């Protein structure tokens, strides 16, 4: 005789929740395969962009200009923020077309609509993870010291994923109604790069603009990524504020998405 617990175990794989997560995994893998199917370099494209950007800024600020920004080795300091920035920038940018890229699939496939945003976050997140060997390589070449704060790195990944998902859930449906938001988002991302502690640390900001770091959730998240190599970058108060802003952003994203997703399907 089958017990109720056995029945639940047998039904679990076919439950809507299990089906949603399975679909998210399949769509994420599909995105990665499509992106690199016709590429000769394949996954190396995911590390080429942040690597070239980091080398350019390293050359400018380490070789050409007198520098009082960041810490040594500066290339490692750059990469610890540049790699997650590329995840944030790429995922937020792609989220503006989360529904517009696959209109037919969105209309015809009966899946929770949040999956179309989450798959972008996951795909770009996997690319970020695949780029980490570059950080390890430059850390070894430059003799960067590692401390026990490196255990905070996964927390940075969780907060970054939550922040991107929240922003994506806001942008994805709104862009369907207001197409100019796509261009506006790209413009904001360009400004946000320089307003975020990527080529500098939050502690490098002069007092007059220091509030920018506290209003920017990326500041605390980047501090978590950097702490394993540069313990002086760790600021628990800043991380706490960034975590709170991330939680609010995710909550607002969920609310905006739930209220607008019905109209999205009519608009597509």
Q: What is the pLDDT of residues 254-266, one digit of tens each?
A: 999 999 988 887 7
In a domain, 5, yes or no: no
Domain count, the chain: 1
Q: What is the average pLDDT value for the chain, to the nearest integer?
A: 85
Q: Does residue 3 sit within a domain?
A: no
Residue 90 lies in a domain: yes
pTM: 0.85
Residue 196 lies inside a defined structural domain of this protein: yes
Which range among 37-51, 52-66, 141-155, 229-243 shows the weakest confidence by mean pLDDT? 37-51
Does the residue 8 lie in any domain?
Answer: no
Structure tokens at 24: 């998210």
pLDDT confidence band for 6 (50 / 70 / 90): very low
Question: Cα–Cα distance between 34 and 23 in angstroms, integer?
Answer: 16
Residue 123's domain comprises 23-267
Quick one: pLDDT at residue 5?
46
In a domain, 16, yes or no: no
Q: Over 80: is that where the pLDDT of 26 sits?
A: no
d(CA 245, CA 214): 10
Would you say residue 147 lies in a domain? yes
9 located within any domain: no
Q: For the chain, how are helix, strand and coil distributed in percent, rounded to 5?
A: 80, 0, 20
> In degrees, to the nearest 5, what angle opens at C-alpha 93 toward C-alphas 221 and 192?
50
């Amino acid at each position: 005789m089958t017990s109720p617990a056995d029945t639940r175990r047998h039904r679990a794989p076919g439950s809507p929740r299990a089906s949603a997560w399975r679909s998210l995994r399949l769509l994420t893998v599909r995105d990665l395969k499509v992106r690199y199917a016709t590429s000769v370099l394949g996954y190396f494209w995911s590390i080429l962009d942040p690597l070239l950007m980091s080398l350019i800024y390293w050359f400018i600020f380490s070789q050409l200009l007198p520098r009082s920004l960041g810490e040594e080795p500066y290339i490692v300091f750059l990469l610890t923020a540049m790699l997650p920035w590329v995840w944030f920038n790429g995922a937020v940018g792609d989220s503006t077309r989360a529904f517009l890229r696959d209109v037919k699939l969105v209309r015809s496939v009966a899946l929770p609509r949040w999956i179309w945003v989450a798959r972008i976050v996951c795909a770009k997140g996997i690319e970020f993870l695949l780029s980490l060997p570059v950080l390890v390589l430059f850390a070894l070449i430059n003799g960067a010291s590692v401390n026990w704060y490196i255990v905070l790195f996964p927390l940075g990944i969780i907060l970054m994923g939550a922040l991107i998902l929240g922003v994506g859930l806001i942008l994805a449906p709104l862009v369907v109604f207001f197409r100019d938001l796509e261009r506006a988002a790209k413009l904001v991302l360009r400004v946000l790069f320089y307003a975020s502690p990527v080529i500098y640390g939050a502690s490098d900001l002069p007092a007059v603009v220091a509030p920018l770091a506290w209003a920017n959730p990326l500041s605390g998240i980047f501090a978590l990524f950097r702490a394993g190599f540069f313990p002086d970058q760790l600021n628990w108060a800043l991380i706490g504020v960034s975590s709170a802003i991330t939680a609010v952003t995710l909550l607002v994203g969920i609310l905006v998405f739930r209220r607008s997703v019905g109209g999205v399907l009519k608009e597509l």
